[in-house]
Structure 1
Amino acid sequence: MCDDDHGNGLNRRALFVTGAAAALTLGSVSFASGAEAAADGDQESRTVRGTLPTGSPDYVYVPVEVPAGVRELKVAYTYDRPSVPAGTQGNALDIGVFDQHGTDLGGRGFRGWSGGARTEFFVRADDATPGYIPGPVHAGTWHIALGPYTVSPQGLSYELTITLTYGEPGAAPRPVYPPERAKGRGRDWYRGDCHLHSWYSDGRRTPAEIAALARAAGLDFINTSEHNTHSSHPHWASEAGDDLLILLGEEVTTRNGHVVALGTEPGTFVDWRYRARDNRFGRFAREIRRSGGLVVPAHPHATCIGCAWKFGFGEADAVEVWNGPYTPDDEVALASWDATLVASVRENREWLPAMGNSDAHRAPDAVGLPQTVVLADDLTREAIQDGIRAGRSYVAESKNVSLSFTATGTKGEHAGIGERLKVAAETPVTVRLEVTGAPRCTARLVTDQGVLLTTDPLPVTGTGTVEWRTTPAYAAYVRAELRHETAAGVVPGALAAFTNPIFLGEAGQ
């Protein structure tokens, strides 16, 4: 084993901007042996050390000169975690790897990412650590990607140990992906959870465990969304079935917010190495759509570092308003989303549908809390995406909660969730909400003016009907909420469910 000290600070290093986030490339790590000098199964290791100061670039690349004849590349790493004053961020260092194709934005050389979830990984032709892509370890310059997520005032000292194993590569597995169709019920309401994490990123559950929990939660479809990797895509086929549609995607985890790529083509990788100020997000949003996916900003007002959404919503197909158990940042997201509905009416432009997902990682996170209930023509990838994109959906805390929400005019005109009731401005409109599975919850009807109707709590049976009359002149749209009881007086209780809006009147009226 040989050691190499990369030194302290950023001097003696090449700092450059890749056209995205600032990046830093360190001196390369070389190995003396090659296939000619090594016997099958022989190993060589190199250990490199360095220190990153506060203010380091988002990504630091360690080039590794990989000789011919390597069967496996393995990397282990550690870093220090010194004590810091209260309110000051400590050290957190993510890791991944790019192969001989390089680190250019777009990810042609991408071979895996585990963020901060693992302390080591390996890549070889026939297998790889979850989060990483199996394939041959070809000769050339590979790059270990370090992501100093946060750096303490003392700096971040790290140690990498890179081990090469020589020999003939194994056979690369042939990927098999889930089907794009399950046995549906024709045009119906289908329940789904589109933001989930397995052990292929920072989750702790296997795909089999997640699929079992999804079925128990009454879900008809799920979407895979590992952080910054598509490595799980070939591992879901055996979990799909006539009763469960499995869509494939990614949670694109940037330093300025996270976005779910929902239902992309199998094997689609979406790069994440940019910030809002780099003006690169539009390129990757279009890439998601070209790959057949939807662009869904996740938990836009989350308080964790780098989690709040800073890219705007011009490229979004929907937005995740409710993420996991209902918390104050979800309440802020709901209010902010409602403001976009008002703006869409005022400016006579497209509106942004809302979703809810669990973002479940491990026990006790509940898969399907919440879940998006979508009116779709069938249980297929395309039909589910069409329903989400059109806003024909509501969000519920569990399979127990069901809603019917409609608006009708005086001549039998009818519109449901996500639709427009096209009647004259002064036409009387009847709004009707039918609820099951929400005991002691209060129903609220919300318009562009705000909350215009709040009911008494539903009975303990959780079943009830609400009717309200208005006109398009008075309410440009109306949406429904179900709220749990609260002991805080005027403060609304946590959501049990909410709908996308029904728009009233002719567009631009």
Structure 2
Amino acid sequence: MCKDEHALGRRGLLVTGAAAALTLGTVSFANAAPAGAGDNTGDHTEVVRGTLPPGSPDFVYLPVEIPRGVRELHVAYSYERPVVPPGTQGNALDIGIFDERGTALGGKGFRGWSGGARTEFFIRADEATPGYIPGPVRAGTWHIALGPYTVAPQGLAYEVTITLRYGAPGRTPKPVYPPERAKGRGRAWYRGDCHVHSVHSDGRRTLAEIATLARAAGLDFINSSEHNTHSAHAHWADLAGDDLLILMGEEVTTRNGHVLALGTDPGTFVDWRYRVKDNRFGHYAGEIRRAGGLVVPAHPHATCIGCNWKFGFGEADALEVWNGPYTPDDEVSLADWDSTLAVAARSRGRWTPAMGNSDAHRDPDPIGTPQTVVLADDLTREAILEGISAGRSYVAESKAVSLSFSATGGRGKQAGIGERLRVDEDTPVTVRLEVTGAPGCSARFVTDQGVLHTVTLPALGTGTVEWRTTPEYATYVRAEVRHPVLVPGLPGPLAAFTNPVFLGK
């Protein structure tokens, strides 16, 4: 059976407490089930077609009445991709689903999201397509969520095919999550990549492939960060080990920027269906923290649609300054972050540490380029998150690069990365950087005045750089290691950089 939906102009808008949403006419299977109860077998399919015009709401919900006795729900969709003039956005349509518990923002109804990565998915009690949550297909009104990411001037014509398969449901397995502790080396520097994608969102690698690549990259920890779903959480346990801590999280992909929910409690879902104008980000940043995680805006100056961060950094526990292979938008992110340090230094107020992650999706994206190197009391979820939020970390392009950075002054006082050297304003301070694994690079010291000292490292990339200053002259100092210049007018790409050492009482 086929049901044609009217265009958006023929429907009303429902305001869900965040972004405006459109709810289409209900697809009913109420009379489709064979007579009898849970032992029914067979399939029944409905097809819905419609067109969304430019300016459609962020989310369009297609209600589906699910009768009793359904073993599996299968959804497939397609949409037209007309040719558009250069500089004009074409059609892109995301998809996900909410069960009979509803679509309320932050509610319990979420059952999966694949964005634009898949054209079909299924859900049943014992299994689901990656990106979706297995569990019973209970009777009631479910909602297929369509997300018109961009709409061409001609409109977005779509088709959704819904198939119910009847029969006895299977048993939903109890989720098993990775341990929150690995063997570790006590208080030490641990390397991690907290932004990776798999087949559970828009990546192409399996979880096993990611774990193998993480170990090869010399990583001690990674963070599961699929777009708008926690479906991968229950599939990581067998891949963790004494040598690899696997944290749980999500990349919350709003229309006004992306944020990593880093190291949350396993099974935590964080909603993404809001914009700046909805004034909801503060609430969901709090939800991330209540789940034990950190709030980390990702690639804040990325150029993809909806990727540029618009929510401000007031709620950030850390900031992803370096995302994947170093590019000019990372340079902008670094400069933007650096500009916040002077204010924090002078006010003695809260500051936001920086980190770097690969955002790897598929071959040949390298896992661990870059990686955040964290000084933590042990290789545990709690210790790693504490080290990141305290700023006791630096970012390196690979396991080959290692840094040691500190400042000394006064009567033998010393402070390391993320700390404050508490000495008088006129006290001489010696800043010291030790570098290994950076051949052909230069090292430089950056303060609230800018770059004040640059040295070319020895050819093998191993060396020590010292510089003297006072807290009156530099309220903070941080170090960068850079490759030679590739783009005229820009400094060379980063090989590594540190969080700051603050100077003065």
Question: Does 2:415 correspond to 1:402?
Answer: no
Is contact 2:40-2:69 (8 Å) kept? no
Q: Separation in 1 of the partners of 2:389 and 2:186?
A: 18
Is contact 2:346-2:475 (8 Å) kept? no
Q: Separation in 1 of the partners of 2:56 and 2:346?
A: 44
Q: How many pairs are equivalent? A: 503
* 2:501 alignment counterpart: 502
Is contact 2:225-2:249 (8 Å) kept? yes
Shift of residue 323, structure 1, vs aligned partner? 0.1
Deviations 1:180-206 (A, max 9, x none): 000000000000000000100000001
Question: Does 2:284 correspond to 1:304?
Answer: no
Deviations 1:318-361 (A, max 9, x none): 00000000000000000000001112123331000000000000
SS of equivalent residue, structure 1 residue 493:
coil
Q: Separation in 1 of the partners of 2:324 and 2:117?
A: 20
Q: Separation in 1 of the partners of 2:120 and 2:395?
A: 39
* 2:436 alignment counterpart: 436
Shift of residue 460, structure 1, vs aligned partner? 2.4
SS of equivalent residue, structure 1 residue 446:
strand
Q: Separation in 2 of the partners of 1:325 and 1:489?
A: 18
TM-score of the superposed pair, with normalisation by structure 2: 0.98
* 1:237 alignment counterpart: 237
Distance 1:487 1:138, change over 3 A: closer
Deviations 1:298-330 (A, max 9, x none): 000000000010011111100000000000000
Q: Separation in 2 of the partners of 1:150 and 1:107?
A: 26
Q: Separation in 1 of the partners of 2:486 and 2:269?
A: 46
Question: Does 2:2 correspond to 1:8?
Answer: no
Is contact 2:193-2:371 (8 Å) kept? yes
* 1:23 alignment counterpart: 21
Deviations 1:101-136 (A, max 9, x none): 000000310000000000000000000000000000
Q: Separation in 2 of the partners of 1:150 and 1:498?
A: 37
* 1:476 alignment counterpart: 475
* 1:218 alignment counterpart: 218
Q: Separation in 1 of the partners of 2:398 and 2:472?
A: 35
Deviations 1:4-43 (A, max 9, x none): 00023421x2212111011000000011223526863310
For 1:216-295, list aligned pairs within 5 A.
216-295=216-295
Structure 1 residue runs of 4+, over 6 Å off? none
SS of equivalent residue, structure 2 residue 399:
coil
Gapped regions of structure 1 (runs ≥ 5) = none
Deviations 1:128-177 (A, max 9, x none): 00000000000000000000000000000000000000111001111100
For 1:22-61, list aligned pairs within 5 A.
22-31=20-29, 32-34=31-33, 36=35, 40-61=40-61
Is contact 1:107-1:270 (8 Å) kept? no
- Structure 2 counterpart of 1:283, which letter? H
Is contact 1:35-1:167 (8 Å) kept? no
SS of equivalent residue, structure 1 residue 248:
strand
Question: Does 2:120 correspond to 1:131?
Answer: no
- Greater mean alpha carbon deviation, residues 24-33 or residues 187-196: 24-33
Is contact 2:481-2:495 (8 Å) kept? yes
* 1:461 alignment counterpart: 460
* 1:491 alignment counterpart: 490
Shift of residue 487, structure 1, vs aligned partner? 5.0
- Structure 2 counterpart of 1:133, which letter? I
Shift of residue 409, structure 1, vs aligned partner? 0.7
Is contact 1:25-1:61 (8 Å) kept? yes
Question: Does 2:205 correspond to 1:205?
Answer: yes
TM-score of the superposed pair, with normalisation by structure 1: 0.98
Is contact 2:429-2:470 (8 Å) kept? yes
For 1:54-69, list aligned pairs within 5 A.
54-69=54-69
For 1:352-371, list aligned pairs within 5 A.
352-371=352-371
Shift of residue 440, structure 1, vs aligned partner? 1.1
Q: Separation in 1 of the partners of 2:56 and 2:36?
A: 39
Shift of residue 489, structure 1, vs aligned partner? 5.7
- Structure 2 counterpart of 1:472, which letter? P
Is contact 1:107-1:269 (8 Å) kept? no
* 2:322 alignment counterpart: 322
Q: Separation in 2 of the partners of 1:92 and 1:346?
A: 46
Identity %: 75
Is contact 1:15-1:25 (8 Å) kept? yes
Distance 1:227 1:490, change over 3 A: closer
Gapped regions of structure 2 (runs ≥ 5) = none
Is contact 1:198-1:210 (8 Å) kept? yes
SS of equivalent residue, structure 2 residue 231:
coil
Shift of residue 488, structure 1, vs aligned partner? 4.9
Q: Separation in 1 of the partners of 2:487 and 2:16?
A: 51
Q: Separation in 2 of the partners of 1:490 and 1:272?
A: 37
SS of equivalent residue, structure 1 residue 260:
strand
